[in-house]
Structure 1
Amino acid sequence: MITFHELGLNKKLLQAVDELGFVNPTPIQQQAIPQILESEKDLIALAQTGTGKTAAFGLPILEKLDADSRTVQAIILCPTRELCLQITKDLENFAKFLGNVAIQPVYGGADALKQINGLKKNPQIVVGTPGRTLDLIKRGALKINNINWLVLDEADEMLNMGFREDIDSILETTPSEKQVLLFSATMMKEVRRIASEYMHKPEEISIGKTNEGSNDVEHHYYMVRANDRYLALKRLADINPNVYGIVFCRTRRETKEVADALIEDGYNADALHGDLSQAQRDTVMDKFRRKQLQLLVATDVAARGIDVNELTHVINYNLPDDPEVYVHRSGRTGRAGNKGVSIVIVHSREGRKLKDLERIIGKKIEAKQVPTGKEIVEKRLFATIDKIEKIDVDYSQIEPYLETISQKLEWMDRDELLKRFVSLEFTTFLDYYKHAKDLNVSESGREERGGKIRGGNVHGMTRFHINVGQKQQIKIPNLIGLINEKTRKRDIEIGKIEILRNFSFFEADSAHEQLILESFKGDGEIEVQISIPEKKEGRGGDRNERSDRGGERRGGYGSKGGDRRSSGNGYKKSSGSGSGGNRRSGGGDFKSKSKSGGGSSSSFASRSKGKRSR
C-alpha cells in the first residue's frame, strides 16, 4: 500500500504528516495530491464526506505555496463556520514546520473587524464561507489579484444552502489565470453548471460511483405508522445503548420537539437548529464532540460542517425528499475506517421512495423490525453483564468498604444477589415495556404480527368533526380563527386539518378536548364532535389510518393545503365528548410533553421514575 512519502511532498510537510499519525493516504488523497502537484489544470474531485479531502487539496497547495510572498495566494470556500475553522486548523497542522505560512478564516456570525485585522497581516491562504468572503472582497479588505488557487470544498453543500449567487460573484471577480479545485460528494446539476461556466477543461477523479454510499455504512429502514415515529426512535436508541449519532429532522420545529421530548424522557440528547445563537450552537457542538451527548437532533442546514468521525448511527426521522441529502447524511457515519449504520424511519406509503433511493446509492436498504420490549430488555441486560465482566477493579479504592458490605449481604446466596441486582437495574425497563405494542407495519399499512391498526392518543391529539366545509367557503385560517374565537384561547396546538365539501376534520391538543366541545355547544349552526373511524369489514385497519393525506397543518396560518380533498369521509360522529376517538399526531408531529402509548424507556441517562410515563 502506498504511503504519503511516495506522493512527492517535501520533508517539512511529511514531518507534519508523520506527527499527525498519517501513514497511508485515502483514495482521494492518493489521486488528487499528485494531480495538483504535477498539473495546473482545473480539477473536479468527487468523494464522500469524511474521506480526507482537506489533505487532498491542502497538502499540494502548501507544497507549491510561495511562503515568502505576503499576498493571498489561495482562497478556500466552504459551506459553514464549523468547517471553515476545521479546515483552518488542519492546514495549520500541515504547515507546522513550514515556518512563514499564515492562514486566516473568515465567516459570518462573527466580528468582521477582527477578521479584517487578520487580513491586514497578509495571510497566504484564506478559508471562508461564501457570504463573508464576498463581503470582504467588496469592502476591499480581501485582495484577490494574485490568487493561484480557488478551492470549492463541499460544493454541492454550498449550492444546496443557497450560496449560488455569492459563489458566482467570487468566481467572476477572481483572476482568470488560476487553478480551480472543486470537491464535492455529489455531481448535482448546479455543480455541473459551475464546472461548465468557470472551469477550463477540468480533469475529473471520482472515488466510487457518483452519489454512491460508503461501503462502510449499512443501510436499514424501519416501517411504522407516521404517528409512531417517535416511539420507534426511542426503541432504536434503547436497543443501541452505546449509540453516538445524529437524528435528522426536516424542520426547525420538528427538531425542537423531538429533542425536547428525548430530553424530557431522560435521553442524553440536544438540538441543533437555525434558531440557536452562535454561542448556543458552539456549546451544543462542543458537548457533542466531547461525547457528552449521544444523540444530536438537527436539520440538514444546521448539521452542515459537523466533522465527527466516530458516529455509530445516522437516523433519518423522515425520509428526505432529495436522494442527495440522504447520501450526505449517511456519509457522516462509517468514516476513517469505522463502520456505521444509516437508519430511515418510514411509513407504508414511502416504499417506492425507498426503491428509488436504493437505485441512486447503488445499495440495498435492508428492512428491519422495530425491536420489541423483550428484545430491548435482554440486549441492555446482557450489555450490562458484559461491562461487569470486563470492568477493571481497583481493590485499593474499594477495600475499605468490602468488609462492611460483605457483612451486610452475607445472608444472601449468589442466586438471591443476582436476582436483586437484575431487579434493581432493570425493573424500570421491565415495567415500561411490559405491555409495549408492536410498532412494525408492512407496506400495506397493517401491523406485521397480526391485529388491526388501532387509533390511539399516542401523542396527545384528538381528531374532531365539524359540520362546515368547502360549501360554506371555509378555509384553514378561517377554521383556526373560529377555534380561537370560540375557545377564547390562541395557544391550543392544532394538528392536521382536512377541509371536505360539507364538513371538515381537525386535530387539536387533547388537553383542550372538553374546552373545544363545550365552546361549540349551543351554537345552533356549527357542531363539533369527536370523530370515530368507521370500521370496514375485511379491509384490515381503520379507514382513518388509510386515508391520511392532504391539508396538513402544524398549528399556524397560511397553509396552501386547505382545499385538498381527502378520501377520509367514511366517519360516524360520536355524541358527547367520548374517550375512544381517533386521536393521533398528524404525520409524525407530536407534543413533546405527551408520553402516552406503550412507548420506550429512557436509554442512557436518568432512570428516575419521574422521567417515565407508564
Structure 2
Amino acid sequence: MSSTPDEQTFADLGLADGVLSAVAGVGYEAPSPIQAATIPPLMEGHDVVGLAQTGTGKTAAFALPILSRLDLSQREPQALVLAPTRELAVQVAEAFERYAVDLPGVRVLPIYGGQGYGVQLSALRRGVHVVVGTPGRIMDHLEKGTLDLGSLRFLVLDEADEMLNMGFAEDVETILADTPAEKQVALFSATMPAQIRRLSKQYLDDPVEIKVQSKTATAANIRQRYLLVSYPQKVDALTRILEVENFEGMIVFVRTKHETETLAEKLRARGFSATAINGDVAQPVRERTVQQLRSGDLDVLVATDVAARGLDVERVSHVINYDIPTDTESYVHRIGRTGRAGRSGDAISFVTPRERYLLRHLEKANGTPLEQMSLPSVEDVNSTRLARFDDAITEALEARPRIERFREIIAHYVQEYDVPEVDVAAALAVVAQGDEPLLLSPEPEPPARPARGERTERGGAERGPRVARDGSPLATYRIAVGKRHKVEPRQIVGAIANEGGLRRQDFGAITIRPDFSLVELPADLPAETWDALRSTRISGKLIGLKKDDGPPSSRPSSSSRPAGKKPRHKKG
C-alpha cells in the first residue's frame, strides 16, 4: 500500500475529535508513513499486517484508531495489545494514556510480570477499556478467570517476531484462541518469518499488508557507542564519563521533565556545571541557558526531546542518551545535536539489560552497529584527576607575580615550624581539595576462582560454588518444562529474563531433561523475582520455579553448559 502525500494531516484520517486534540497536544504535526498508511484501513475495520521497524511511529498507528472507536459505556476490555516485554507494555500503555487525555473515562491497564496482582485485579474489577500486557501474565489472568476477553473487539500483536523469538508462540496462539471470532486484528513485525506468515493466515481475515522503511539515518561523523548499565548505576556511570571523556559541551537526554531537574541537581552536587531544560522552562530562560552552553559558561545541559528541538550549538561535542529513546526518529534527532558544522561528535547511549531489544532495533533501523564501551574504571578516573591536578599546578606556576608573593609566605612557614616544603605543599593541596577525596578508592577485587583442573588436597578437581560473570554466587533451580514440552535454552532465557527482570549474565548452565529443566540463576533471588517467576509460563505451561535440592547426579553435567561454551567430557 503506497504512502499518502506529505501534505496529509491527522484530520484527514477520520479520527475522533478528542484523539485529534490529544495528537495536537503532544506536538504531532503530520502522520508518519506507517500512520498514514495504517490508520485508514483500521478505521474502516480491516485487519492489518504492518511490517515496520521500531521507531516508525507504529504505536500511534494502532492506538489512535482504537481510541477513536471505543465504546466507553462498556466496562469489559475491548482492546488487547500483546507486547514481548514489560518495558514495551508500559510504554505502549503510557502512549494510549497520552492519546486519551481528551477522552474522559478511558481506562488503560498494563499487565506484566513483576507487578503485584492486587493493582491489576482491582483495576480489572473496576473495568478497563484497553489492556496492554505480556503473554505470560495475560495467560495467568485467563487461567485464574480474572480477565474476560469475551467482549474483545480489537487485538494487536506488537513486535510479533520478537515475541516468537522469546518463545511465546504457544502462549500467543492460546490467547488468540480465547478471543471472539469476530474482532479486528493488527499484527506488527519488523520481519516476516514463516511462523508470522502462518499466524497471519490463520488468525487475520484478508489483512491489508503495509510495509514501511525508516528513512532516517545518522551522520557518519558521529561516533556511536553504548554502555550496558543497570538503572541504579546510571548516575555513577554518567559521573565517570563526565570525568574521563574529553568533551566541550554535552547534552544529556532523559525521558521526563522531572528527571531533567533531578539529574541536573545531582550533577551540580558532584561539582559539574549542569542545568536542566524542559518544556516548562520559559523561553527567555531557555535562550539564556543555550547562550551559556554556547559561550562555555555551562558544560552540561540535561534535556527532554521537546526542549532540545532546534537546538544548534557547535560546542556540543557529546550527547548522552541517559534514557535510551524508544523510537529511531528521536535517536537520530538527539545525536544530531552533536557533530555540527562538519565537526566530529560522540553519542553514548545507556542501555539497561531490559532495553537491549531497543538497541537491536536502533541498530537495525539505522544500519549502523553501536560500539560497546566499558564503564570507565577507578584507575581511569584517578588518572584523569591526577592529570588535571598536574595541569592546575602547572597553570598556577605560570602566574609568576602571585607565586613570588606566596613563596615568601611558604619560606617563612618552613623556617618557623621546621617542616619540609613538600609537606607544606601536600597540606595546601588538602586545604584546596576540602573534604572530597582527590582519588576514588580502589574497586573490590572479584572473588578468586581456582584455575581449571586445579587439584585439591583430596586429589579431586576443585569445583567450588558456581558464580555468575560478575562474581555473584549461582544456585540451581528446577522448572517444570523439559524436552517433551519442546523447549529450547533461548525460550527459557527469554521468558525468565523478561518476567523476572534478570540479565543474560545472571544465567549459568541450562540442562534440559525430559520432564524438567535445571537452570543456574543468582542464589539470592529477591522476593519480587520469585513472585514473578512462579507465574511465568513457557510453551503455555507454568514453570513452577523452585530450588533444586536433588542429589549431585541431578546437577548439570556434561550435557549442560553456559551459552557459548563447549561441553566438557569426563574422563573414564
TM-score by length of 1: 0.44
TM-score by length of 2: 0.46
